[in-house]
Structure 1
Amino acid sequence: MRRRAIFAAVLFAGSSLLGPALGAQQTGNGTIAGKVTDAPSGGPLESVTIAVQGTQLGAITGPDGTYRIARVPNGSHVVTARRIGFGAGTRTVTTTDGQTTTVDFALQTSAVNLQEVVVTGTAGNQTRAAQGAVVSTINAAEVTTVAPVSNVTQVLEGRIAGVNVTAGAGTTGTASRINIRGAASISLSNAPLVFIDGIRTFSGQRNDVAIGGSAHGLERLGGQAVSALNDLSPDDIESIEVVKGPAAATLYGADASAGVIQIITKKGRLGGRSFRQNITTEWNQIQPNFTPLPIYGTCSAADVGPGGAALCQGKTAGTPISDNPLQREGVFRNGNLGLLDYSGQGGGESFGYFVSADASNEYGTAPSNYYLRRTGRAHINWVTTPALGVDASIGVSRNDYRLPQGDDANYGYLTQQYALSDIFGVTVGPNGTRSGGLSTPVAGLEAIQNELTTVRFTPTAQIRYTPLAWFTNRLTIGGDISSTHGVTFFPKNSQSWYNGDQANGYVEDVQDPIHIYTVDYL
């Protein structure tokens, strides 16, 4: 491992010395500019990536489809234009000192594009046809524009064949299970690895929330868990690449046998002096689409007698009775989702930048259930010379969760009604108002607090160097630094709401820091 790192450092340093010497042989620079259109309609195409092969020079088309690439060394160059959903365009041009060469493209739509460039596992621009593994791509920027997406897992749902996203619970903020081509192992994890801009990140379930209340986890959440993928705002994502099957292990090692998800975040726009900002606000109401089933019982002779069950008074033995404590207490109510998102994107001929801030408040239909997300991200990309490009980004987030007890736990709402209820314990007041019937009253269930707070910091830096058209170098350095604080609290009370350890009040405090660092040379 150490020898490989030393060899990579020597090779990168050697190429850094070789490149300027070779670049000194070329004098003078020209400019490439043009417009990209949709071939059938003739309308301008935005967000098309223009690249000069063998260099780090490139641009992204603006809303009018135009682009501009400056500082192109004199000589013959191959220029490509690519966008997801369209076939690639290629032109060979010759630039001269101080002159602007016009290169226009008209791209045809394509459902399957084998010439599309993929980032996963490659140092330079490698097309899908040249990639040994099966890589599928989602245009996340387009999905978030047209679909009501509130988290990253929703971007993946139903958009790639073989990728299954299964919700473990309907509670707001809980995690979904992601499987690529089914289970890969009986004993090991079947969760795919997740990378953000080439940096390996923690994407599994937070250890603070233990399924069934195991050691070092919050107590009895009934199979519910919180996913680290929720820490990222879907509006910050440009595209998602998914490597399917065991072939991912050839790119990322044995840990990737269940597949790899590569998230590429939004970046600045090279190739023109432009600035674009977007403000999005959203409010949705979440309505329960079900009515809890009632509970039933049959009155016995003792129940209909004096001092018997309240619901059986005035009835004859054998009469069926029913009640619906959850509906009576109004447990499930309307939830809501509020979102405010800002992003700014721009750049010049040799640099680009992207900034964003996101605030999302989601309140579930169950009491004491919410998910609050605050994120911020900044990115800058700079092409210092035609052969050298530098990217740097930083992301910060804070996520707050409050979860009710799940349906597999003793203090879950549905468990209380269907497994631990007593219809003969329902009381009726003078005005006919019913109460009781659950082993723990709704007020006691609502008083239980399961709260988590996660603070996450993801810095990334990448250097790309191409001293020769056939010799590409990419050095990526970054980290995923997070800290989660979880608390479970059962309040002390005099009404015997809880049993066991929680009978006299209970507090559990869990802290779980996770630090992952990546240094990758390719």
Structure 2
Amino acid sequence: MSFPLYPDTGIPHRSSIHEEWLMMRVCSFRIALAASLLYLPAATRLAGQTGTIEGKVTSLTTGEPVIGAEVSLVGINIGTRTGPGGTFSLLNVPVGPRELRVLAIGFKVATAHLVVLPDQTTTTTLQLAPSVLQLDAIVVTGTPGQARVREVGNSIAQVNLSQVKDPPASMDQLLQARAPGLSVMQTSGMAGEGAQIRLRGAVSVSQSNQPIIYVDGVRVRSEGYRRNRPPFNDSNGFRGGNYQASPLNDINPADVDRVEIIKGAAASTLYGTEAAAGVIQIFTKHGLAGVPRWTFEVGQGFSQLRPFGTDSVPYLNLRPAGQVHGLCHETPVTGCSWIRNAYRQHYSGSVAGGSAGPNGLQYFLSATSEDNDGVLPLDNEKKLSTRGNVGITLSDNLRVEWNTAYSNTDLSNTPAGNNAHGLVLNVYRAERNYRSSSDPAVIDSLLNQSLTTGIQRLITGATVTYTPFAGFSNRFTLGYDLAQQQNHNLRPTGFVAAPQGILVDEQLRYSLLTADYVGSMDLRFTPQLTSTLSIGGQAVTSEEGRATAYGEGFPVPIVSAARVQLAGDTSLRVINAGFFVQSVFKFRDRYFLTGGARFDGNSAFGRSLGLQVYPKISGSYVISDEPFWPASWGEVKLRGALG
């Protein structure tokens, strides 16, 4: 290659050098561009390639498969649960090195480092070591976001349905004896009767002592439905229909994945004044990535009343089932029984499935039908419930979950309690009753009346989780709980104790609107000292309306046709709102200190809401993680809370 020279110098011309440099640069750019274009399709194919991870989770000590363990990939929104046999499958996993995390109640957390190859299946087997304290289990209740048990200074109990061997018939039975300090008291044996739940005994003389209940982050009604009884001030307590349906039993226990129960200082700080009696949070099942999994269940059985009454008057003269003279309602003769063995049956089915990876959708759908008799002659409960849970991963840092449940319950009950027109009081008093006769045929005439309740309930809610960058998460939940109840109490014209006839119709409407936000940020001061700062707020609007119509003396069973009429209506609207701030300091992953405060207000105090401050402080020390602690001594966690 030659260059023009300056005259008499032998030095190349400057402009020639510049032109040649430009030519070389253009050539270099073209070569680089061509190489990039050749590489681009390969890079695109690599970025879009995925693989599959399959495996099995077993117990280290027994070798038995662990069912219901949470299997997830650290850093991305892909996860599932182990099915029958402890097996799992993760589909559409981006290629490259991945960290697999497995967590199950009753076991220590286990991890595995795998390399996912394009269009190939990577297999692994993980063994979980037993853990009594479950220090690495993830909890939500009592914490602003997700937290490990080791970090929490409050008492939190977990109930995992995968470890419950006998399927419970109701949520009341599911919670019975599942956590220390949890008392579930059945109030009667009538069909549809709910139980009273106490976590901390009686904590208030003015507010409810029933713990508040959340379902998938949505606040739902926890107080029992109104009793079906006449609308008079003296009809409280045990007068009228002595049963009270429980909203908790509108939830099908077969749809529940786990339950978290908290009592103590954290309850009021994070959930407000109404949480002084404790919090029960129910998490229902969600879909799993993979082929649809169908489940069907058929249950048949009967309920039998345990002995009650006194030695001199066993069963209050009602006599248990199995008497030689049969049932009084069918054959009213001397020596017959008013108590029967109550037949129960239920049929349920569900399907779960979905896809993994970006834009993945998981679903869980279920339906249940129940038909349960009660131990008294007219007792019956028919229930139909459905549920649909859908989760969508819109991107690696954005996920939306929508959960909806509907139930329809029809109750028929025997008039009981301290009721002059009822069965139990007149049987117990025998010849001294309101019919002046112990003849079963005379007493059976009191059952010529109708005492029915219909309840329709809808619970729906959506949760959006957004993590703009690692260490900063935001969760917003909006939910609505609507229940409509209709009480119908009819003693027809010619009824032996009220020949003129009595009719009561009552319409009730309950609703709860919940809005909840929580934001959490992880802070790192030193490699051994970190902190999680959380802020959030909740607003709960509760509304209750009741309209009652009462009539006596009617040619047809319609209140408007009655000779004597009485009507009334009431309504109540309460708003409870507050916000909180909390910080958790973590040192060496075994020393934890939590401090927080909540500012809570209630519309009962007027426009100012009467803001009150609820502070708390708690600490946790996992002493078994210290180097001096012998492994043979097991796991020990010291904790304390004040609030």
TM-score (norm: length of structure 1): 0.77
- Aligned partner of 1:418: which letter? Y
Secondary structure class of the residue paired with 2:270: helix
Q: Is the 8 A contact 2:142 2:156 kept in 1?
A: no
Aligned to 1:251: 270
Aligned to 1:451: 452
Aligned to 2:349: 342
**Matches for 1:48-197 after TM superposition, within 5 Å:** 48-69=69-90, 78-91=99-112, 104-122=125-143, 124-143=145-164, 146-147=165-166, 149-197=168-216
Aligned to 1:409: 419
Secondary structure class of the residue paired with 2:431: coil
How far apart are the structure 1 equivalents of 2:435 and 2:403? 60
Describe the shift of the 1:370–1:51 C-alpha distance in structure 2 as closer, same or farther (beyond 3 A): same
Deviations 1:40-89 (A, max 9, x none): 24444332212233443322233343444456667776542111222211
How far apart are the structure 2 equivalents of 1:251 and 1:29? 43
- Aligned partner of 1:483: which letter? Q
Deviation at 1:405, TM superposition (A): 2.3
Aligned to 2:339: 332
Percent identity of paired positions between Structure 1 and Structure 2: 28
How far apart are the structure 1 equivalents of 2:469 and 2:58? 31
- Aligned partner of 1:165: which letter? V
Aligned to 1:421: 431
Secondary structure class of the residue paired with 1:330: coil
Secondary structure class of the residue paired with 2:157: strand
What RMSD in Å do the two structures reach over aligned CA positions? 3.3
* Residue 359 (structure 2) pairs with residue 376 (structure 1): no
Q: Is the 8 A contact 1:149 1:155 kept in 2?
A: yes
Secondary structure class of the residue paired with 2:382: strand
Describe the shift of the 1:338–1:97 C-alpha distance in structure 2 as closer, same or farther (beyond 3 A): closer
- Aligned partner of 1:359: which letter? S
How far apart are the structure 2 equivalents of 1:424 and 1:517? 47
* Residue 275 (structure 2) pairs with residue 275 (structure 1): no
How far apart are the structure 1 equivalents of 2:59 and 2:262? 29
**Matches for 1:215-230 after TM superposition, within 5 Å:** 220-221=239-240, 223-230=242-249
**Matches for 1:18-57 after TM superposition, within 5 Å:** 31=51, 33-35=53-55, 36-57=57-78
Higher mean C-alpha displacement, 284-293 vs 229-238: 284-293
Describe the shift of the 1:141–1:96 C-alpha distance in structure 2 as closer, same or farther (beyond 3 A): closer
Q: Is the 8 A contact 1:49 1:61 kept in 2?
A: yes
Deviations 1:483-521 (A, max 9, x none): 1111111122164x24xxxx5211111111112122222
Aligned to 1:514: 510
- Aligned partner of 1:33: which letter? I
Q: Is the 8 A contact 2:224 2:244 kept in 1?
A: yes
How far apart are the structure 2 equivalents of 1:236 and 1:265? 6
Deviation at 1:327, TM superposition (A): 6.2
How far apart are the structure 2 equivalents of 1:190 and 1:374? 29
Asked which structure has the greater RCO (Cα within 8 Å, sep 6+), the reply is 1
- Consecutive unaligned residues of structure 2, counting only runs of 5 or more, are 1-45, 308-313, 319-331, 519-643
- Aligned partner of 2:344: which letter? L
Secondary structure class of the residue paired with 2:84: coil
Describe the shift of the 1:123–1:185 C-alpha distance in structure 2 as closer, same or farther (beyond 3 A): closer
- Aligned partner of 1:171: which letter? M
**Matches for 1:294-333 after TM superposition, within 5 Å:** 328-333=335-340
How far apart are the structure 1 equivalents of 2:486 and 2:241? 19
Aligned to 2:481: 480
Deviation at 1:125, TM superposition (A): 3.4
- Aligned partner of 2:303: which letter? I
Secondary structure class of the residue paired with 1:419: helix
Deviations 1:211-246 (A, max 9, x none): 996499999336431111121111111111111134
Q: Is the 8 A contact 1:208 1:511 kept in 2?
A: no
How far apart are the structure 2 equivalents of 1:165 and 1:326? 38
Deviations 1:457-485 (A, max 9, x none): 11222222222221112122221111111
Secondary structure class of the residue paired with 1:421: helix
- Aligned partner of 1:521: which letter? Y
Secondary structure class of the residue paired with 2:132: coil
How far apart are the structure 2 equivalents of 1:385 and 1:267? 19
* Residue 497 (structure 2) pairs with residue 504 (structure 1): no
How far apart are the structure 2 equivalents of 1:217 and 1:160? 32
- Aligned partner of 2:297: which letter? T
Higher mean C-alpha displacement, 252-261 vs 238-247: 238-247
Q: Is the 8 A contact 2:343 2:373 kept in 1?
A: yes
Aligned to 2:281: 262
- Aligned partner of 1:364: which letter? G
Q: Is the 8 A contact 1:332 1:367 kept in 2?
A: yes
Deviation at 1:123, TM superposition (A): 5.7
Q: How many residues align?
A: 451
* Residue 302 (structure 2) pairs with residue 285 (structure 1): yes
Deviations 1:410-441 (A, max 9, x none): 33433213336339998xxxxxxxxx437993
- Aligned partner of 2:500: which letter? N
Q: Is the 8 A contact 1:480 1:516 kept in 2?
A: yes
Describe the shift of the 1:504–1:482 C-alpha distance in structure 2 as closer, same or farther (beyond 3 A): same
Describe the shift of the 1:366–1:504 C-alpha distance in structure 2 as closer, same or farther (beyond 3 A): same
Larger CA Rg, structure 1 vs 2: 2
How far apart are the structure 2 equivalents of 1:468 and 1:369? 57
Describe the shift of the 1:54–1:120 C-alpha distance in structure 2 as closer, same or farther (beyond 3 A): farther
How far apart are the structure 2 equivalents of 1:125 and 1:80? 16
Q: Is the 8 A contact 1:85 1:109 kept in 2?
A: yes
Q: Is the 8 A contact 1:213 1:221 kept in 2?
A: no
Secondary structure class of the residue paired with 1:365: coil
How far apart are the structure 1 equivalents of 2:232 and 2:172? 25
Aligned to 1:9: none
- Consecutive unaligned residues of structure 1, counting only runs of 5 or more, are 1-25, 296-324, 427-435
Q: Is the 8 A contact 2:286 2:364 kept in 1?
A: yes
TM-score (norm: length of structure 2): 0.64
- Aligned partner of 1:180: which letter? L
* Residue 380 (structure 2) pairs with residue 359 (structure 1): no
Higher mean C-alpha displacement, 110-119 vs 357-366: 110-119
Q: Is the 8 A contact 1:237 1:263 kept in 2?
A: yes
